[in-house]
Amino acid sequence: MKAILITYNQAYYDDIAKVLNNNGVKGYTEWDEIKGHGSVTGEPHLGTHAWPTLNNAVISIVDDDRVEGILRELQERDRKAPDLGLRAFVWAIETMI
């Protein structure tokens, strides 16, 4: 099992839902209206007058064989609009109850 944490500009909300659905992901936890600033590119998403956009994040625990498809679809979206901000982080899950 793998955990996938996806952080994204709110504009991607429907796209992220489609990616998860396309890859058979049913369970996830989502955080709305979070603030952040990318470490590589992009602008801050702080919900302020100067930087009005905000991010969302979603985490899902998935079977190993689903990870590649999810990451591929996310990367395609990020390539189309890299300034929006879309990142995915994957790590192994050792135990789940």
Q: Alpha-carbon distance 41 to 82, whole Å?
A: 8
pLDDT (tens digit per residue) in 65-95: 999 999 999 999 999 988 788 999 999 999 9
Would you tell me which CATH number, out of the four given (3.30.2010.30, 3.30.2420.10, 3.40.50.2030, 3.30.70.120), belongs to the domain 2-92?
A: 3.30.70.120
Q: What is the pLDDT of residue 16?
A: 95
**Whether the model pTM is above 0.75:** yes
* 6: three-class secondary structure by DSSP: strand
| Res. 40: pLDDT tops 80 | no
